[in-house]
Structure 1
Amino acid sequence: MRRSKLQDLRVRDIMSADPVTVTPDETLGDALGKMRKQEVHELPVLHGKVLAGLITMTGIIRRKALPHETKVSTLVQPAPEVAPGDDLPTVAEKLIQTGFRALPVVDGKRLIGIVSRTDLAKVIADLEEFESVKVRDVMTPHPQTVSEDESLEHAIRLMQSLGERSLPVLDAHGRLVGVVGIKDIQDIFARPKTRESAGGIGGEKVHLDLQVKGVMR
């Protein structure tokens, strides 16, 4: 049965209960593995039963040289919380303003779920008030693009500067040939990193000199 108004719905109606979480003592490798398995870009971090914040894929990418043994505690970001009774326009505004793809749902200090942009998109598709809305009414005209021959690192920097999670990919003739996004980059970061040494100092490095066409969809 279709609902007629977005305002009729509350966070509790669309949130994902019992989300996958990590603890501050788990490693970056643990977090990346859970993100990849669950196909998510944010994970709530719990200290005991109390929400400590989120670990996000964008935060991990920003600090690309981190070894997989890095503790989650060094990557925790504070995140705005929402309550189960909050209306969806309020949640949508918080997601847009903060740039997060998902927000923790708390009852007091207890984590009870997570609500994401995907959850919102699914419910909007089933609302009568949006049946007459066309793509042209909500699209971003003349979006920023990236060339298929440019490096993955360039694409990451461009996404970070724009606050975007994906970019259209064009070939040398300006034709659309795919999309590159955080999920594609997440797969690169989840791979075991290669060790390099310089001047006797060991380190770990994610190779981002790959061309965009090698990872795009």
Structure 2
Amino acid sequence: MAITTSSIDPRLVYARSILQTEAQALEAVADRLDQSFLQLIEILQNCPERIGITGVGKSADVGQKIAGTFNSMGTRSYTLDVTKAMHGDLGMVHPNDVVLFLSHSGESEELLRLLPMVRHQAGQLIAITGNPRSTLARSVDAAITYGPITESCPLALAPSTSTTIMIALGDAIAFVLAEQRRFTADDFARYHPAGSLGKRLARVDQFMRRPHDLRIASMNLSVRSVFAAMSPQGRRTGALILTDESGSLAGLFTDSDLARLFERRDDRALDRPIREVMTAHPITISPDARLMEAIERMRTLKISELPVIDEARKPIGLLDITDLIGLMPLDSAISTPAQRKLAS
């Protein structure tokens, strides 16, 4: 049965209209961007120190977000609280800094009172404001003036559409600067070392198990002798790494493979060379690869151990699914020996 407009909860209708109002405003502002945006970008590109960001009320909150985005994308930034600046925090402003002022009206009394003090402290002043004829727009070296907008607040008073626009413009500035500076994923990873995001951007060698945690043996030894000799000192792993005469990776043999021999009652295999029952030519990865690439490879191929090899194919580490389980997509699964052989 089709849902008619009249059957939709009016709260949903109103919520959608708010989003549509702000989306339309963003489209209008995007069309209005002109040379003044490029002028502001030029100033920031040539800034030898940091970008200070200041505003009053909700604009100050927006400044916190913009500063965070700038810093994460390689543009060093800080926020300057208007009140605290008048009581000593102006000392954080360096003569080579650029200070960005945020104000929808461009006539905020507190901000305008601070402006001449910052002028004496900073190298250049820039602004994002809605009013091209405002005192703020006329007092700075460059300003993005996004023009008239209607706040989505039911009273058309509370900062809403205007703050959305400021945040979006902050993103545009940060990402254009990052693009111009050839900011890379490696750079981004350096600034995000913690949490799941940092882990996914990290490199394999930061999370792989090291040689002292690995079980490594010659592929020419018997299954029985290999397991009798293995006594890992570190974390236990379910994969045995097998090497050839040159020490290069030749194959893997897992606890699951051993269990399968017992299930088949193939006791004679225990005294034959392990190369006969190992998974030859297993999937591998480089220590310089991204962890997210390794995770995706394990997820796609449904493997639970991924050997890490150097340029000579010598095993130097291992990624084990038990160390990465919190980062694996929900549809990942532990592989079976049959799946591992198929993947190879």
Counterpart of 1:21 in 2: which secondary structure?
strand
Match of 1:181 in 2: none
- 3-state DSSP of counterpart to 1:22: strand
Question: What SS class does the counterpart of residue 16 from structure 1 fall into?
Answer: coil
Corresponding residue for residue 292 of structure 2: 89
The count of corresponding residues between Structure 1 and Structure 2 is: 133
| Separation (CA, whole Å) in 2 of partners of 1:160 and 1:115 | 17
Contact in 2 for aligned 1:54/1:79 (Cα 8 Å): yes
- The Cα shift of 1:27 comes to 1.6
* Aligned 8 A contact 1:106 1:112 in 2: yes
Q: Which has the higher helix share?
A: 2
Aligned pair in 2 of structure 1 residues 24, 117: CA closer, same or farther (>3 Å)? Answer: same
Which structure has the highest strand share of the two?
1
CA–CA distance in structure 2, aligned partners of residues 105 and 29 of structure 1: 25
Tell me by how many angstroms 1:39 deviates. Answer: 3.3
Larger radius of gyration: 2
Answer yes or no: is the 8 Å Cα contact 2:215–2:239 preserved in 1.
Answer: no
Moved over 6 A (4+): none
- Structure 1 CA distance, aligned partners of 2:338 and 2:242? 26
Corresponding position of 1:99: 302
Pick from 303, 321, 340: which aligns with 1:117?
321
TM-score (norm 1): 0.51
Contact 2:251 2:275 in 1 (8 A): no
Q: Which residue of 2 aligns with 1:197?
A: none
Check 1:138–1:113 CA distance in 2 against 1; reply closer, same or farther (3 A cut): closer
In the alignment, what sits opposite 2:198? Answer: 5
What code does the residue aligned with 1:57 have? D
Q: Post-superposition shift, 1:99?
A: 3.3
Matched, 1:42 2:239: yes
Change (3 A) 1:72 1:83: same
CA–CA distance in 2 between the matches of 1:160 and 1:120? Answer: 18
Alignment of 1:54-203 (within 5 A): 54-63=252-261, 64=264, 65-67=266-268, 68-77=270-279, 78-108=281-311, 109-121=313-325, 124=327, 138=330
CA contact (8 A) 2:248 2:315 kept: yes
SS at match of 2:267: coil
Deviation at 1:55, TM superposition (A): 1.1
Structure 2: 5+ residue stretches without partners: 1-192, 340-344
* Cα pair distance change 1:33/1:101, threshold 3 Å: farther
Are residues 66 and 121 of structure 1, via their aligned partners in 2, closer, same or farther at CA, if it must alter by over 3 Å? same
Distance 1:36 1:101, change over 3 A: farther
Q: Percent of counterpart pairs with the same letter? A: 17
CA shift digits 1:97-144 (9 cap, x unpaired): 33332111011112111111122137x4xxxxx9xxxxxx9489xxxx
Higher relative contact order (CA closer than 8 Å, sequence separation 6+): 1
Does the C-alpha gap of structure 1 residues 160 and 43 become closer, same or farther in structure 2, counting only changes over 3 Å?
A: closer
Give the Å deviation of 1:76.
2.0
Q: Is the 8 A contact 2:217 2:243 kept in 1?
A: yes
CA distance, structure 1, for counterparts of residue 289 and residue 254 of structure 2:
23
TM-score calculated relative to the size of structure 2: 0.33
Which of 224, 241, 251 pairs up with 1:29? Answer: 224
**Following TM superposition, by how much is the alpha carbon of 1:96 offset from its aligned partner in structure 2, in angstroms?**
2.6
3-state SS of paired residue (1:96): helix
